[in-house]
Amino acid sequence: LSDVKLGDSIATNGVCLTVVELMSDGYVADISAETVNLTGFSHYQVGKAVNLEKAVTPTTRLGGHMVSGHVDGIAHVDDRQFRGQAIEFWLTPPVELGRYIAHKGSITIDGVSLTVNEVQGHRFRLTIVPHTAGETTLVDLKAGDNVNIEVDLIARHLERLMSYGTQEQES
């Protein structure tokens, strides 16, 4: 945290939070009711491990897809299986978010940018490779857990753009 300043954004399990106080071993951020309602934060206990990522700068490599830190909802982990050294998860998001999840598309789970490997209805499958498992909290997920999800930013904006004229005509 040596280069973090007050007002910086840090994604915490995928949730973009603004640093309002710095400590030697952490930071404090305010959380709105909207954040509590759309994320798993209300169920977190002191000491829970989380994924942290500082905001991307214009000179930073983008090693995944565009992630805003604006969580869309909570998905349920239905199943966890080992496939060789990888971990395979099946998840169920809220029904209204299913339309944004595409085979080989991008999704963010607890702040980790991932590729969707299969879609069945609105359920989807992810495969977590050993490196990702070792560097994130995804290795600790089990069936029955809930995770923060952010759907593909481009898909969300494209839908809005395509429906804009239609909504104007219906009003």
pLDDT tens-digit series, residues 59-68? 776 666 677 7
CB neighbour list of residue 28: distance below 8 Å, 6 or more residues apart: 19, 20, 21, 22
Minimal CA–CA distance to 153: which of 77, 103, 101, 104?
101
Tokens of 162: 């395509």
Res 156 pLDDT > 80? yes
Supply the pLDDT for residue 64: 63
Tokens of 135: 């560097």
Q: Letter for the amino acid at 151? A: V
Supply the pLDDT for residue 63: 63
CB atoms within 10 A of CB 98: 15
What pLDDT band is residue 25 in, cutting at 50, 70 and 90?
A: confident
Res 164 pLDDT > 90? no
Strands (E), 98-139: 106-109, 112-120, 123-128
Q: Which residue has the tokens 């030697």?
A: 24
Q: What is the mean pLDDT of the chain?
A: 88
What pLDDT band is residue 73 in, cutting at 50, 70 and 90?
A: very high
In the CATH hierarchy, which fold is given to the domain comprising 73-159? Elongation Factor Tu (Ef-tu); domain 3 (2.40.30)
Q: Give the 3-state secondary structure of residue 140.
A: helix
Residue 55 is classified by DSSP as P
Residue ranges of the chain assigned to CATH 2.40.30.20: 73-159
Taking the C-alpha atoms of residue 114 and residue 164, their distance in angstroms, rounded to an integer, is: 29
Would you state the torsion angle of the CA atoms of residues 34, 40, 41, 43, taken in this order, to the nearest 10 degrees?
130
